[in-house]
A and B are shown apart, each in its own frame.
Chain A
Amino acid sequence: MSEKVVFQRPEALCDVHTHYCPGCLHGVIHRVIAEVIDELGIRESTIGVAPVGCSVLAYNYLNVDFAEAAHGRAPAMATGIKRVRPQATVFTYQGDGDLAAIGTGEVIHAATRGENITTIFVNNAVYGMTGGQMAPTTLPGQVTSSTPDGRDVELAGYPIRVAELLSALSGSAYVVRRAATNPGNIAKLKRAITTAFKVQQAELGYSLVEVISNCPTNWGLTPKESLSWIEDKMLPYYPLGDYKVLDAVRDL
């Protein structure tokens, strides 16, 4: 009797346990990236740059060459790699603290230079690894371990909408926001990451896929509740959609 494989671990995903908390969506996002790498046939020419934050150990989970950057510096490091290895597919994987607080300068300038790199930007509105402090993307009123009474915008300012911000730069070729919350959204996320990698292969400029994600542990919610919280609280502030798509991207 012949067997037909209908589901298997992507070659670009290592067969190891992750350190992520139960219900965390990093694992889903890792898997989506790995599937895209497999389907594009680029596992042997892909170089990842991991951030500081919960996904600092992403290099242990994705089966491609990897560097671990200093906090916020992944886009600069990826620039150095891509400029001397232009044939490689180079991507950074960054959280909201890493990208939108300490690394704001690096990501803006990588984008405005039109670096042919891709950023997977995971936005869960909180610093996860250090235990749930306010992130640059923490929502107004959101309670965190460093905003015990909720984020007061009078004192702590407003959350940064990264996709909207970077879409304003001429060097950005493809900037979209997706969510990793349900099968439909995950399928859209996968198509976006595929497009982003193709954008860099076609040397059209900088590409970023913002992924709205969760943090059940630091939000104090069950995994299921955290998905509802994304729908109810995060998506109204961070609408899903395409923020910058060059005409040339549509021809890919």
Chain B
Amino acid sequence: MSTGQSGEKILMKGNEAIGEAAVRAGCQAYFGYPITPQTEVLEYMSRRMPALGRTFVQAESELAAINMVYGAACAGVRVMTTTSSPGFSLMQEGVSFIACSEVPAVIVDITRGGPGLGNIQPSQADYLQVTKGGGHGDYELIVLAPATIQETIDLVVLAFDLADHYRQPVLIAADGMIGQMMEPVVLPPMRQVSDAVPPWALSGAKNREKNIITSLYLNADRMEEVNLHLQEIFARIRQAEVRYTTFLAADADVLLVAYGTSGRIAQTAAQIVRNTGIRAGVFRPISLFPFPYEALSEAAVGKTLLVVEMSAGQMVDDVRLAIHDRQPVHFFGRMGGQVPLPEDVVAEIKKLL
């Protein structure tokens, strides 16, 4: 396979780019299960990881995959799994355990149309699941949402660093559009894989006390302490890891708020209406948790707001939280794997004026 010289621009499919970005970020183990529209990551890793002497296992289910990830994470290596919406539903138990146990892991969710078995078209209907604690208990999940394949690559590398830094799971929320599309990209340099074992990891109790990794605290006082500690981590994440970008937002009369693929469509729509004299711009959250509440609140002052999603309206709740009912928040969405055309968004913008 051609993965390009360092710094060279090459054409890559999103799913394969996710695999190569993980490899270059030092991912030592990959566990996955086939599910469209994510499967090419699994296939890519099945070739790439063994060639590098790293671990690849095709699990018997997403349940097993996330728990293999949990095990490898406890052993202190960089580890990833990838899946799509129904598969991520199955992983929720494991994500909750990983978050409580404080071990680092990277998960990629190439979301598809739902609910139920749904279909294999791009969708953003899993926003609430990924940002509001899809699993049980008080935990948050760092969620990064790319809009291009280059940004996907960059965020996969960042995800490994954030996972290690906070010892928490990090999710890349992309949709089938990102996974299946090809775009020119520049890959990051190959990082050295570290053999060092973190002091908290399971490696055998040699020259130290035994390490125990658990999420069980039967005593309520102790369980509350653990929760308070986790909340401190999430507070630090809220403080330090807000990410977003804007496009022609400063002078806009209409501010489109959209993430991932919708953000990209919104940007094209803004360009189209600019040519007809309508000043539109885009605010695109990149971190869905932590959500850029303050930045959006400031950017929205005096503007007409239109949230665009490939869902019935899920992120729109966070936008309303950011705005505190200060101004109306309009919504346009398509569901069930329908991807809105820029012209559809243009028509919605014109309705508001």
Which residues of A does B touch, CB under 8 Å?
A: 43-47, 49-50, 56-57, 59-60, 63-70, 73, 76-85, 88, 105-106, 108-109, 113
Contact A67 B202 (CB under 8 A): yes
A113 vs B60: C-alpha distance when bound (angstroms): 10
Given contacts A59-B212, A68-B214, contact A77 B77 (CB under 8 A): no
Q: How far, in Å, is A222 (CB) from chain B's closest CB?
A: 28
> A-B pairs with the 5 shortest C-beta distances?
A80-B71, A76-B67, A68-B214, A77-B71, A80-B68
* B154 close to chain A: CB less than 8 A: no
Q: Which residues of A contact B59 (CB under 8 A)?
A: 76, 109
- In chain B, positions 178-231 with a C-beta closer than 8 Å to chain A are 202-207, 210-216
Contact pick for B205, options A43, A83, A105, CB 8 Å: A43
- Which of B65, B202, B214 lies at the interface centre, i.e. has the most chain A CB atoms within 10 A of its CB? B202
Q: Which residues of B contact A82 (CB under 8 A)?
A: 71
Given contacts A73-B63, A105-B63, contact A67 B205 (CB under 8 A): no
Contact B216 A68 (CB under 8 A): yes
A82 vs B38: C-alpha distance when bound (angstroms): 26
A57 vs B213: C-alpha distance when bound (angstroms): 11
Contact A67 B210 (CB under 8 A): no
Contact A81 B214 (CB under 8 A): no
Main secondary structure of the interface of B (DSSP, over half): mixed
A68 vs B212: C-alpha distance when bound (angstroms): 8
Q: Which residues of B contact A106 (CB under 8 A)?
A: 60, 63-64, 67
Given contacts A69-B67, A84-B29, contact A59 B60 (CB under 8 A): no
A69 vs B67: C-alpha distance when bound (angstroms): 8
Q: How far, in Å, is B275 (CB) from chain A's closest CB?
A: 53
Given contacts A44-B205, A45-B206, A73-B94, contact A67 B68 (CB under 8 A): no
Contact A77 B214 (CB under 8 A): no
Contact A80 B205 (CB under 8 A): no
Contact B71 A63 (CB under 8 A): no
- Chain A residue with Cβ nearest B93: A70
- Which of A59, A60, A69 lies at the interface centre, i.e. has the most chain B CB atoms within 10 A of its CB? A69
- Chain A residue with Cβ nearest B213: A67
- In chain B, positions 41-81 with a C-beta closer than 8 Å to chain A are 55, 57, 59-61, 63-65, 67-75, 77, 79
Contact pick for B68, options A43, A47, A66, A76, CB 8 Å: A76
Q: Which residues of A contact B206 (CB under 8 A)?
A: 44-45
Contact B71 A81 (CB under 8 A): yes
23 CB < 8 A contacts A-B? A45-B206, A47-B204, A59-B214, A60-B212, A65-B205, A65-B210, A66-B214, A67-B202, A67-B212, A69-B70, A70-B94, A73-B94, A76-B65, A77-B68, A77-B71, A79-B64, A80-B29, A80-B31, A80-B72, A81-B75, A81-B202, A85-B203, A113-B57
Q: Which residues of B contact A49 (CB under 8 A)?
A: 71
Q: Which residues of A contact B215 (CB under 8 A)?
A: 68
Q: Which residues of A contact B57 (CB under 8 A)?
A: 79, 83, 113
